[in-house]
Structure 1
Amino acid sequence: MIARLSGSLAESVADHAVIDVGGVGYLVQASSRTLSALGPIGGAVMLFTEMQVREDAITLYGFGSAGERDWFRLLTSVQGVGGRVALAILSVLSPDELSRAVAGGDKAMVTRANGVGPKLAQRIVNELKDKVGAIPIGSAGSVAVAPPGGAAADALSALANLGFRPAEANAAVAAAQEDLGDGATLDALVRLALRKAAKS
């Protein structure tokens, strides 16, 4: 099972991206929300992933946050909701918005997604209403995307190896890079990022 990818962005189109990890390109299906936050080609990225194995295909789905991946898992547990429909929903609704829509029984919000009619939206709301409490609202509304290239990517990897969650590592390294500027050394970036992560 592939749970996470860290590498550089090799390609990004309307419905998927290719992440280069050590010379191997992983094609990852993703929501438009995640794809739009990936940054420039060649930039460093870290995505949470979910792999689905079927008789006719093995598909890797990518997410900018753990919350988005959790919602994908919940959505695809509903009959009639496959990976593409789940991504369509996550393209128009953030995890926080989806939590509110399901908790409030607002099927109209869910029907904003392509391919989701009123009956399917009602089923989603009904089946997931009792499960919404499993995902804390606000846990991962923001997309975790690594600052592009060089020392920043290495600093991000260093924090990940120390056990920081991707969202925490991204925020800390981005803040450190903003303070130190583009010419910062890896050592300086890691030290400042650790201080910033400790304060948050």
Structure 2
Amino acid sequence: MIGRIRGVLVDKSPAQALVECSGLGYEVDIPYTTFFHLPETGGEVTLHTHFSVREDAQSLYGFAARVDRDLFRLLIKVNGVGPKLALAILSGLDADQFIRCVEAKDANALVKLPGVGKKTAERLLIEMTDRIGQLEGQFGVSEPQLSDTKARAVVQPSATDEAESALIALGYKPQEAAKVVSKVAQDGMTREALIRSALKSMIPTGA
């Protein structure tokens, strides 16, 4: 089991990070909440990982905080929730927000996530209620995300298109992605800030 990886961030996208460690480049699938924590390419990065081996593939999933990795492991144990859907859930809600949804029995916040229907949301609330106790003591350890103000420091003209593509890849419909990105976009915002603001507008931060 590969539980953690530390190395140089060679490349990054909202869905994947390429980390070079001891001469090897590891492709690590990540949720958006982890993407926001990544340093600039060329910087050192540490990710808590989950290694999955199937008959047709070997996949490495990475997370900025251990609590997110551990929550991912609990999510994929839920009937009908695979790694792809678990990443989608953690892209829209960080660990603290997800736990608050479960504690409040807030299915409405969960169904706003792409790929999560009413039945899946209800199943998550039922099965995760008994499992979140395993995460006790891990809250508050997530690294702080960059504020939108800091993230806007660099002007990226293509940020809107990249943000829309990222949301579509997550599962949102093209028209929906374009509409919400247009609504939250401000001059000078980076792709990271746009995606974060778009997700926040789709899923209330109080979730």
Is the TM value for this pair above 0.5?
Answer: yes
Q: Distance in 1 between matches of 2:21 and 2:55?
A: 26
CA displacement at 1:112 relative to structure 2: 2.4
How far apart in 2 are the matches of 1:141 and 1:116?
27
C-alpha distance in 2 between matches for 1:56 and 1:82: 15
Runs (4+) of structure 1 exceeding 3 A deviation are: none
For the aligned residue pairs, the C-alpha RMSD in angstroms reads 1.7
Alignment TM-score, normalising by the size of structure 1: 0.69
SS of corresponding position for 1:19: strand
- 1:124 aligns with 124
1:111 counterpart = 2:114: no
Cα distance in 2, alignment partners of residues 36 and 96 from structure 1: 16
What is the identity percentage for the equivalent residue pairs of Structure 1 and Structure 2?
39
Compared with structure 1, are the counterparts of its residues 77 and 144 closer, same or farther at alpha carbon in structure 2 (3 Å cutoff)? Answer: farther
Matched position secondary structure for 2:125? helix
Distance 1:93 1:105, change over 3 A: same
> How far 1:74 moved relative to its partner?
0.8
- Stretch of structure 1 that moved more, 14-23 or 132-141: 132-141
Aligned to 1:101: 101
1:1-200 residue pairs with structure 2 within 5 A? 1-136=1-136, 139-140=139-140, 142-143=142-143
CA contact 2:14–2:30 (8 Å) conserved in 1: no
Displacement of 1:82 after TM fit?
Answer: 0.8
1:48–1:66 contact (8 Å) kept in structure 2: yes
Structure 2 length-normalised TM: 0.66
How far 1:136 sits from its partner (Å)? 2.2
Specify the SS of the correspondent of 2:131: helix
CA distance in 2, matches of 1:143, 1:75: 21
Instruction: Quote the offset at 1:110 in angstroms.
Output: 1.5
1:36–1:63 CA distance, 2 compared to 1 (3 A): same
- Number of residue pairs matched? 145
The aligned amino acid for 2:89 is I
CA contact (8 A) 1:67 1:139 kept: yes
Distance 1:137 1:125, change over 3 A: farther
Distance 2:124 2:96 in 1: 16
- Matches of 2:68 and 2:21 in 1, distance apart? 22
> What runs of 5+ residues in structure 2 fail to find an aligned partner?
146-207
Max radius of gyration: which structure?
1
1:24–1:144 distance in 2 versus 1, CA, 3 Å: farther
Contact 2:16–2:30 (CA under 8 A) maintained in structure 1: yes
Contact 1:19 1:27 (8 Å CA) reproduced: yes
